[in-house]
Amino acid sequence: MDYLDRVDLFEGLTESQVNALVDRSRMRVFAANTIVVSEGDEGNSLFVIQNGSLKVFLTDNVGREVTLSFLDPGDYFGELALLDEAPRSASVIAMTRSEVLQIPRTAFMALVEAYPACMQLVVRNLVARIRLLTENVRSLALVDVFGRISRVFDSLAVERDGISVIERRLTQQDLANMVGASREMVNRILRDLVAGGYIEIEQQRILLRKKLPRHW
């Protein structure tokens, strides 16, 4: 179970090429609340999550945190490290006990040396991922807080018995960190959505009872 077939970065590689990466990789285990990589660290590996849940985040010089994403099995991070030697651009922490497959840059470069066409495939796939990240930045810059919360709900919701459910346990502060807003603003929006019958907040999850309004 290495999930490399779900890593869009490697889409188009043959099974033997993917296996060559796995053979040069190693499995690592991190306890809950352990920092996996820190912003500014040397970047030399790609990580693919096998089990557990992780969070990608940034902090400023006064300790304020912005959550960039949550990662689950099949997700990955650190892909730029395969192509350059720049420091890590964000930090990642294990939210629960997590197992990750670490693919070093040396493994990737050995693959490219053996199969030069792989570089073109990976760069093409990386460009598609960068375009997606650009859309996320556009959302933070141009969409209001309610719109950002709606986008987060859309990205996290899964279908369960005909109802859209956010199963990841999110505190109001978690959500505020994800959308770049104060916890108080998030609290007001959630209260209004509950009052309007749009969402129902349970202890462990959020139920999306009906389509959210276009504006708050």
pTM exceeds 0.85, yes or no: no
Question: Is the confidence at residue 51, as pLDDT, over 90?
Answer: yes
pLDDT in tens, 100-141: 999 999 999 999 999 998 888 888 888 887 887 777 677 666
Say if domain 4-141 classifies as CATH 2.60.120.10.
yes
- State how far the Cα of 81 lies from the Cα of 45, in Å rounded to an integer: 6
* Predicted local distance difference test score (pLDDT) of residue 190: 94
Question: Is the confidence at residue 208, as pLDDT, over 80?
Answer: yes
pLDDT band at 32 (very low <50, low <70, confident <90, very high): very high
Q: How many CA atoms lie within 13 A of 82 on its CB side?
A: 25
6 or 71, which is more confident = 71
Within 10 Å of residue 16's Cβ, how many Cβ atoms? 8
Average pLDDT of every residue of the chain:
88
Question: Is the confidence at residue 206, as pLDDT, over 90?
Answer: yes
* Predicted local distance difference test score (pLDDT) of residue 96: 94
CATH class of 144-208: mainly alpha
- What are the residue boundaries of the structural domains of the chain, listed by start? 4-141, 144-208
Confirm whether 4-141 and 144-208 share one CATH topology.
Answer: no
**Strand partners for 199:** 208
pLDDT in tens, 162-200: 889 998 888 899 999 888 889 999 999 999 999 999 999
